[in-house]
Structure 1
Amino acid sequence: MQRAVTKSPVRDHKGPLLALAFTFFTVGVASLSVVGLGRWVSHDLHILPSQTGLLVTAFALIYAVAALLVQSLFGHWPRHRLLVTGLTVMSLGLLMSAGAASFAPLMIARAVTAIGAAMVGPVVTATGSLLVPPKQQGQALATVFGGFTIASVLGAPLASVLAPSIGWRGVFVALAGVGLLAAALIIRVLPPIAPGQRVTVSTYRQVLTIRGVRSTLLVTLLQIAALFTVYAVAGSYLSGRFGSSAQWISATLLGFGLGGVLGNALSNVTVMRFGSHKTLLFTLLASAVLVALLLIAPNLPWMGLTVFFLWSAFANMFQAPQQARLIGLHPAGRGLMLALNASILYLGISLGSWLGSGLLPRLGAAHLAWPALLLLVLAALVSYHGRPPHRPVIPALR
């Protein structure tokens, strides 16, 4: 019988946490690399560039739905099995992507990839929080989420660099290999972890009645939607708003990713010093100030780079304490809470991408930041008024 690691931390949790971070990295590059492959896919399959954008939107929507269904169908599985199965399915989807001969099979392959990724993402963060004592959960979540943050830096640029030499199909094959390597690391490094519980529709309804859950999830939705309203159309936005050349756009996107790494690294420090509630509110207000700056800043490429760097830093400072807040609302159902957060996160990506691509032609680059600013102000208001109680009342879940 396997020993469950739930009450006390493992003696050396650094290795397992890094393995989980690498696993989350594979999920990130599997989802974001298609952005860097868009023009090669479009040219090879003879499809419009806008159709390649649908590959991102479809992935996000399927991930959002699958993250909830996985908890219902497989939430009771041992975490090793769930992670390895998800990584295997994700790698299969990437191999199917490499072999797609037209747009329709590629969409199906991306759906398979998204389902596999949804089996991994929420479980990775929940597992990381189980490896350490409660006081270290924020640091553990920041470490694990750091893998996804690094993927946001390297995913699209790395795919774009590799595509000319090995082709976009070769990139998908390479990513499948990375996914299988992550599965091997999980088998090798991760200690036995207690499985979660099977989740029913009734369970979801009861969890959503816990005070603070709905408002916290709404804040996640608004925050990420605001970010992707601009980021999803970053190339066109930077060119139109700041006159950025192709080189400046590449530098700005790299700066955006590096800002995310910095923000993720600083999140635990700020939470330890100021508490999660103040940290979350501060990141939202700081992001709102930076988005307002996008509306009035001089038309200079370096200004766009600076604002994107800082906005990404504060946006990624938000993620770890937000996940820790959700776990605190219902510690016994951390897997379910993080699955809900992941689902809402990807719904926010879809919403923001849809808003950005739809509003840019209508509002123009000069005014696109207005919807993002509105979303952030709403997020700050909901976060301020929806502060969870010190001892949340948790109904008995059947």
Structure 2
Amino acid sequence: MGLSTPVDTTGASSARTTGRQWAAVAVLGLSTFIVVTSEMLPIGVLTPMAEGLRISPGTTGYSLTITGLVTAVTAPLVPRLLGGLDRRMVLAVAMVVLALGNVLTAAAQGFGLLVVSRIILGFGMGVVWGLASAVATRLVAPRDVALAVSFAVGGVAAASVIGVPLGTIVGNAFGWRAAFAALAATAVLLAAALLPALPRLPQPTPVHDSTSASAPEPLLRSAPVLAGLILIVFLVTAHFAAYTYVRPVLEERTALTPSAVALLLLVYGVFGLAGNFATGALAARRARATVLSLAVGITASIALLALFGTVAWLAGLAIALWGLAYGGLSVGGQIWMTQAAPDRIEHVTGLYVGVFTGAVALGAFLGGTVVEAAGVVGLLWGAAGCAVIALLVALFGPGPTPRPRAKAAARAAEA
């Protein structure tokens, strides 16, 4: 059996990417933005949400664990189960499923319906995020593939740095239920927009490589892929263990008002967007060094918040650094993965998203457990220690080897 590689059949292999193709990438990026904002919004409205559901903040934080676990199972299975289905239709249906999950979250009166709503949301999220990068590569000319992936995955980063702060503002002004209802309405609009914006996207056609007589090596046997997944597990776990409870940290330690917390999260967002776009360009050339720098930034920001979180301006500095570093992680990690397995983008993306969201679930769970037992300071130090492990893996583990741009473009054009 020969080596099979996915091939673009959409006709996006022309020399230039058209405005219509970039518009399709934009709609895809907005979809990932709404998907991940839906997952993480409980972070920004944690206190009023817990009060409205009559449960503890730690239990409310577990809602991220539920969504993350469902997404972690769904995303790796998506490329294997879709077969010849049109990816455009699959994405549109998944956005409707996401909308349903948000409607049920807004309607929840207790933990039971909240669990159901977050399970449904996890299915929609797993499909959209699991397909986003692979679809983006099929929408543009070969020379623009890295930028398209950055924009598509940038929706994930923007959700952390812009979606949650905006959702927090809506929640403070109109109630946390209104924030989830707004996400549901937006998801329906994007489901309708995906159908005309994207071309028909059937399953990539496999092409057999006659130079290989065996099936492709399992992705987990690739040292760069495995190293990348390990560092993502520790870094994302560290981030979400601490960031899920950033509002209680800023309210209890820094004594900020809800409005001040929302403003500081917007500062986090501005720096996060800068980190996202800077990382896309840097990681395409030096993925390992870029991800290592992000790990250093996340570790330092959490430690700074643990040490000096009672001082308002130092807490603000830590939040800004945190946004700058974490804002680039999703795109930096994705580029690491695609460089480590460039001929199996759809499968490695599903695996990456599964591990990423599993780490989100683990981080939220551990964060809730630690904050209930040791308080917010103990939580911050535990998260910083977890981030140090990721830093060491990035420093000493095997990294991906990027292909020269010209070779990558030629290969994509031939496909």
TM normalised by structure 2 equals 0.82
Aligned residue number for residue 396 of structure 1: none
2:304–2:315 Cα contact (<8 Å) kept: no
Other structure's SS at 2:399 match: coil
* Counterparts in 2 of 1:134 and 1:306: CA distance versus 1, 3 Å: farther
Report whether the alignment pairs 1:224 with 2:236. Answer: yes
Offset of 1:390 from its aligned partner? 5.7
1:163–1:170 Cα contact (<8 Å) kept: yes
- Of residues 318-327 and 89-98 in structure 1, the stretch that sits farther from structure 2 once superposed is 89-98
Aligned residue number for residue 86 of structure 1: 94
Question: What CA distance in whole angstroms lies between the structure 1 residues aligned with 2:126 and 2:309?
Answer: 41
Question: What CA distance in whole angstroms lies between the structure 1 residues aligned with 2:216 and 2:261?
Answer: 42
- Of residues 363-372 and 337-346 in structure 1, the stretch that sits farther from structure 2 once superposed is 363-372
Report whether the alignment pairs 1:180 with 2:192. Answer: no
Offset of 1:300 from its aligned partner? 0.9
> C-alpha offsets along residues 143-189 of structure 1, whole Å, 9 cap, x if unaligned?
12232333324434444444577655544443222112111211111
Report whether the alignment pairs 1:116 with 2:124. Answer: yes
Report whether the alignment pairs 1:376 with 2:387. Answer: yes
The 5 A counterparts of 1:174-323 are: 174-196=182-204, 206-271=218-283, 275-297=286-308, 299-323=310-334
TM normalised by structure 1 equals 0.85
| Equivalent AA in structure 1 for residue 298 of structure 2 | S
Offset of 1:196 from its aligned partner? 4.5
Offset of 1:66 from its aligned partner? 1.6
Offset of 1:39 from its aligned partner? 4.8
Other structure's SS at 1:191 match: coil
2:154–2:330 Cα contact (<8 Å) kept: no
Aligned residue number for residue 4 of structure 2: none
- Of residues 77-86 and 353-362 in structure 1, the stretch that sits farther from structure 2 once superposed is 353-362
Question: What CA distance in whole angstroms lies between the structure 2 residues aligned with 1:259 and 1:379?
Answer: 22
Unaligned 5+ segments in structure 1 are 392-398
- Of residues 67-76 and 378-387 in structure 1, the stretch that sits farther from structure 2 once superposed is 67-76
Aligned residue number for residue 4 of structure 1: 10
Aligned residue number for residue 155 of structure 2: 147
| Equivalent AA in structure 2 for residue 176 of structure 1 | A
Report whether the alignment pairs 1:29 with 2:37. Answer: yes
2:273–2:327 Cα contact (<8 Å) kept: yes
Offset of 1:310 from its aligned partner? 1.0
Question: What CA distance in whole angstroms lies between the structure 2 residues aligned with 1:128 and 1:346?
Answer: 20
- Of residues 128-137 and 370-379 in structure 1, the stretch that sits farther from structure 2 once superposed is 128-137
* Counterparts in 2 of 1:377 and 1:28: CA distance versus 1, 3 Å: same
* Counterparts in 2 of 1:262 and 1:329: CA distance versus 1, 3 Å: same
| Equivalent AA in structure 2 for residue 120 of structure 1 | V
Other structure's SS at 2:343 match: helix
- Of residues 362-371 and 275-284 in structure 1, the stretch that sits farther from structure 2 once superposed is 362-371
Aligned residue number for residue 412 of structure 2: none
1:36–1:155 Cα contact (<8 Å) kept: no
Unaligned 5+ segments in structure 2 are 1-7, 207-214, 404-415
Aligned residue number for residue 394 of structure 1: none
The 5 A counterparts of 1:331-370 are: 331-370=342-381
2:13–2:142 Cα contact (<8 Å) kept: no
Offset of 1:241 from its aligned partner? 4.2
2:50–2:56 Cα contact (<8 Å) kept: yes
How many residues are matched? 385
- Of residues 167-176 and 315-324 in structure 1, the stretch that sits farther from structure 2 once superposed is 167-176
Other structure's SS at 1:230 match: helix
Question: What CA distance in whole angstroms lies between the structure 2 residues aligned with 1:173 and 1:234?
Answer: 23
Aligned residue number for residue 211 of structure 2: none
Cα RMSD (Å): 3.0
- Of residues 137-146 and 59-68 in structure 1, the stretch that sits farther from structure 2 once superposed is 137-146
Question: What CA distance in whole angstroms lies between the structure 2 residues aligned with 1:69 and 1:136?
Answer: 27
> C-alpha offsets along residues 197-231 of structure 1, whole Å, 9 cap, x if unaligned?
89xxxx99822123321111111111111212221
> C-alpha offsets along residues 327-363 of structure 1, whole Å, 9 cap, x if unaligned?
1222332122111111111121122222323223554
| Equivalent AA in structure 2 for residue 289 of structure 1 | A
Report whether the alignment pairs 1:60 with 2:68. Answer: yes
2:339–2:400 Cα contact (<8 Å) kept: no
Question: What CA distance in whole angstroms lies between the structure 2 residues aligned with 1:261 and 1:131?
Answer: 23
Other structure's SS at 2:85 match: coil
Offset of 1:123 from its aligned partner? 0.9
> C-alpha offsets along residues 22-80 of structure 1, whole Å, 9 cap, x if unaligned?
11122023212344454555444444443322222211111111212323322542211
1:271–1:321 Cα contact (<8 Å) kept: yes
* Counterparts in 2 of 1:36 and 1:227: CA distance versus 1, 3 Å: closer
* Counterparts in 2 of 1:51 and 1:364: CA distance versus 1, 3 Å: closer
Offset of 1:261 from its aligned partner? 1.1
Offset of 1:190 from its aligned partner? 1.4
Alignment equivalent of 2:23, drawn from 7, 10, 15? 15
